[in-house]
Amino acid sequence: MSTAPWSPELELDVRDDGCRLALVGVAHGSGPTLQEAGNDLLDKLFGISVAVRRSAGRRPPVRGVHRPEVWLWLWRTGDMALRGGDLREHVFGPEGAR
């Protein structure tokens, strides 16, 4: 049994016209390169997670956040974002592990 906190699966879809990087069930980002798709994903995640955190426990108008583990992950992510934490490392892991 794993004691690590739940986090969403990261999924990459590479096409001729660019990349789509998704945190399954949470958000996705798109761009002509993987770097730009990652940046787009992090921008969206910042907005969603901060909205969840600022909701003070009430369900904000964020579509698709119905599962408790997603809600808790977004709550923690929003807290990290508001404290100036590194969302890139939180989502993609430490620099050396990428």
pLDDT tens digits for range 27-81: 999 999 999 999 999 999 999 999 988 887 666 555 656 678 888 899 999 999 9
pLDDT value for 64: 59
Strands of 18-23's sheet in order across: 10-15, 18-23, 27-31
Domain definitions of the chain by residue range: 10-91
Cα 68 from chain centroid? Answer: 15
How deeply is 18 buried, as exposed, middle or buried, from its count of CB atoms within 10 A (0-12, 13-18, 19+)?
middle
Say if strands 10-15 and 27-31 run parallel, antiparallel, or are unpaired.
unpaired
Instruction: Give residue 91's pLDDT band: very low, low, confident or very high (50, 70, 90).
Output: very high
19-37 pLDDT, tens digit each = 999 999 899 999 999 999 9
* Gap between the Cα atoms of 92 and 71, Å rounded: 19
